[in-house]
Amino acid sequence: MNNESSPYVFDVGNALRSGITEVLLNEGPTPVRVGPEMIAVPEGKQVRVEARINPLGDAVMVDATLDAELEGQCVRCLADLRPHLHLDVQEVFGVDEDFIQGDDPEDDEVPPLIERDTVDLQQLFLDEAGLNLPFSPVCEGECEGDVPEPDTEEEVRDIRWAGLEKFL
Ligand SMILES: [Zn+2]
């Protein structure tokens, strides 16, 4: 699979061999949609991914952030929503499976690996977006779906007071 151009793929070879922390920046269109059905960064939209590559001998710890503009719709009033998305992820990638021993012996998740000097953060960001983004997004602040029916009772009372004032 050729994913060299994915903004989620980072070359960790330098950090791994030099032992020096590196901060790398990728910007480009996301090859996959990031987020649930009603609000997401659509496929092809620009994302900015910054990764700090911390070497740990036969592994690297990657701290990464993703910044992008979301596209979605308020489920109440159907207004377009374009909020900013910021995600933080952290993961350790080993050069081979032996490196990472999970704290939980029952955790049979396969540890992520460094393949051909690169790490792919795509799944991390997809999981994080799934945890952070609402399935039913609504407007921040005022939403037209929230506007209450005109309170006619209040108006009636006001008229009544106005009428009484004549007699005071
Ligand atoms: Zn709304």
Cα–Cα distance for residue pair 85/131, rounded to 1 Å? 13
Residue 1: its pLDDT value, please?
Answer: 41
Residues with CB under 5 Å of ion ligand 1 are 74, 76-77, 79, 139, 143, 145
Residue 2: its pLDDT value, please?
Answer: 45
Residues in a beta bridge with 82:
none
The model's pLDDT over 137-162, given as tens digits with 9 standing for 90+, comes to: 999 888 988 766 665 555 555 555 55
Cα of 36 vs centre of ligand 1, distance in Å, is: 18
Low-confidence ranges of the chain (pLDDT < 70): 1-4, 97-111, 147-168
Residue 155: its pLDDT value, please?
Answer: 54
Cα–Cα distance for residue pair 41/136, rounded to 1 Å? 15
Cα of 150 vs centre of ligand 1, distance in Å, is: 18
Residue 160: its pLDDT value, please?
Answer: 54
What does the DSSP 8-state code read for residue 128?
A: H
